[in-house]
Chain A
Amino acid sequence: MEITQTHHENVLVFALSGRLDAKTSETFEQQLLAAIAAGHNRISLDFSKLDYISSAGLRVLLLAAKKLQEGGGKMALCSLKPALKTVFDIAGFSTIFSLFASPQEAMNELLK
């Protein structure tokens, strides 16, 4: 699991690669919640290199989205592989998250 953070204007982009499982999601949770606590309220998650997500990863996304919504922030996800999209669909997450086909489309939404 690798997590890289980059800034584009006022958007914080997390690019994830590898596996977001019960073990690795602990690190991601710390980083994402720390960024929100530090005041970032436009967050893009690039999943183009993410191969795997389980309920532990979904839990982190839901926690972060709720915190952002409380503070009037926004989060966008992009480039989910088909297997991950299936998991989102089964979990009912495709209806509560903003999913985009490319990083640029996610960025456009966040910069609106």
Chain B
Amino acid sequence: MEQLSILLKNDLDEIETLSQTVSAFGRRRQLPEDFLYAVNLALEEIVTNVISHGYIDEAEHHIAVRLSVQADEFVVEVTDDAQPFDPLQASPPETTSTLQARAVGGLGIHLARKLMDALEYRREQNKNILIMKKRIGS
């Protein structure tokens, strides 16, 4: 199994570097650009939520991201020490109403769920662990 571990600070400046790292990892495995766009987007949405809403103090925290290719799946695991939050319990946003009626926000998790094939969440030793999987070739 090939894998790569990345440690991020809780700072939105980390997002672009994270994206470059994910893309480089994926390109070495000949994964197509639209596949990597989907993985990058899902990962940005999850990490941004943790950074922007997960912490109640002003301290520096670390978020661990692990990328791996297992058989025919690209697997992304995000581990953080933020407040407990299960993205799978978030209610889906309304995506069919008029512009006027459309609520601002709530799209990030929806995009992550639609772009990846599977999401799993668990809380373990005071940490949130989110695993996202996308089938290669799907």
Contacts and interface: CB of A to CB of B under 8 A. Distances in A.
Contacts of B33: 83
Contacts of B2: none
A59 B15 contact: no
A55 B107 CA distance: 6
Contacts, number: 71
B12 A96 contact: no
B114 interface: yes
A22 B44 CA distance: 8
B102 A96 contact: yes
A66 B100 contact: yes
A102 B44 CA distance: 29
Contacts of B16: 19, 21, 23
Interface residues of A, number: 24
B44 A21 contact: yes
Interface residues of B, number: 30
B41 A87 contact: yes
Contacts of B105: 59
A58 interface: yes
B75 to A, nearest CB: 21
Interface in B47-72: 48, 51-52
Chain A binding surface, main DSSP class: helix
A3 interface: no
Interface in A55-88: 55-56, 58-59, 62-63, 65-66, 69, 82-83, 86-87
B101 to A, nearest CB: 10
Interface string A23-52: 100000000000000000000000000001
A95 interface: yes
Nearest to B96: A92
Interface of B: 12-13, 15-16, 19, 33-34, 37, 40-41, 44-45, 48, 51-52, 94-96, 98-100, 102, 104-105, 107-108, 110-111, 114-115
